[in-house]
Amino acid sequence: MDFEQADALNQAIRLLSLRHRARAAALLVPLGLHPGQEALLLELARTGPMIQAQLSEALGCEPPSVTLMTRKLEAAGHIRRAPAPTDRRASIVELTDSGKTLVDQIKQLWRALAQETVAGLPAQTVAELPGILKTLAANVDSRGGPVR
């Protein structure tokens, strides 16, 4: 791949990431959420209660970030934390009724954001995008070391 093509690809990915995150943040403001908190709530809705360390791994976040998010979401009444029965140092995190209601609102916003993002693309391209994007993410993840 020549530099111009590489630059165009890298710039497009960077701009999409920045703009998507900014649009998501704007959509989350009326719900009283910050970026990342919606992912935590959606993960709990998908999996049910889980230990905070597992939640950190599932979200791909550092444990201190998840701790901060869970404290804020707990203070807002959307989740509850309790000591794990097998390890008192670990916390089990679960959605409250308020959190479950909020998840329904997040899902509506996520559908709207996805539709905005892919507007104008053919249905087949839209259907292929999740797989393509997962492959791109896996390619970046697997490379970890310095660029050669």
- Give me the residue spans of the domains in the chain: 3-135
Partners of residue 80 on adjacent β-strands: 94
Mean per-residue pLDDT, 108-118: 95
| pLDDT tens track for 50-82 | 999 899 999 988 999 999 999 999 999 999 999
Residue 85 is predicted with a pLDDT of 86
| pLDDT tens track for 4-46 | 999 999 999 999 999 999 999 999 999 999 999 999 999 999 9
Q: Under CATH, to which class is 3-135 assigned?
A: mainly alpha
Residue 80 is predicted with a pLDDT of 96
**pTM across the whole model:** 0.85
Q: Which residue has the higher pLDDT, 95 or 147?
A: 95
Residue 144 is predicted with a pLDDT of 63
Confidence of residue 142 (pLDDT cuts 50, 70, 90): confident
Confidence of residue 90 (pLDDT cuts 50, 70, 90): confident
